[in-house]
Structure 1
Amino acid sequence: MSAQLHLNEAQFIKLREVNKVKLARLEEIQWQYVEDSQQRTAKIAELEAQYEAECGRILTPSQLSLFREEQKRDSSPTPPANSNEGGLG
């Protein structure tokens, strides 16, 4: 991520800390709302919005654009290379 976004040292340090906090909070939400999937989903969405806001404060507009593109790629599943793969039989 650092190389793709061309982060400077200060950005790298800040973003690393934001990522640590996000992961810790995500784990906490998963544990705390294990019985309530709707509340868990809402809290995760809230966490993602806070994370995006923090990234917006750290990254330049062009870096933020690249970051969002990378997130979209990571969140969408890639289809199997061979159309016969991934199926039954």
Structure 2
Amino acid sequence: MKKLYLSLFVAAFFSLAAQAQDISSSADKRINLLTRVMATELQLNEAEFIKLRSLNRERILKSDEIATLYSADATVMAAKMKEVEDNFDKQFTAILNPVQLAAYTNYKHANEDANLTAAQTEKPEKAKPVATNEKKIK
């Protein structure tokens, strides 16, 4: 009887441990895509790629969790997201050489511009009249 309970306990333990490590396929796809793009842009070696993938995994999972927990409070969510991004930047920049660090700075700025453009297209402002200076041809 003790062996049965012990077997059930061990099976339950490993089952829960496996579920804790399981992430959604969409999160895994985002992690892989982001890591591949960044590794290509920054010309990372294999060891740096592995570290980046680990950092991206941590960042995306935490961001997803924050988005779920604080969806009702945009200010708290923004503060928590900034904290996650700052932590990521601190850990990631520690493994980069100076050339990669410069490339990462350019990469971040390019993506910030893209994110701003995407945000502007999602919430279009009211159309403003455009002044035209048309000359009549005689």
The TM-score, its normalising length taken from structure 1, stands at 0.81
Q: CA deviation at 1:64?
A: 1.6
Is 1:47 the counterpart of 2:96? The answer is: no
Letter in 2 for 1:42: A
RMSD of the alignment, in Å?
Answer: 2.0
Q: Which runs of 5+ in 1 are unaligned?
A: 80-85
Partner of 2:35: none
After the TM superposition, which segments of 4 or more aligned residues of structure 1 sit over 6 Å from their partners? none
| Contact 1:15/1:58 (<8 A) preserved | no
Larger radius of gyration: 2
CA distance in 2, matches of 1:51, 1:29: 15
Q: Which runs of 5+ in 2 are unaligned?
A: 1-37, 118-123, 128-138
Q: Which has the higher helix share?
A: 2
User: Which of 4, 16, 21 matches 2:58?
Assistant: 21
CA distance in 1, matches of 2:44, 2:90: 17
CA distance in 1, matches of 2:52, 2:82: 19
**Aligned pair count?**
82
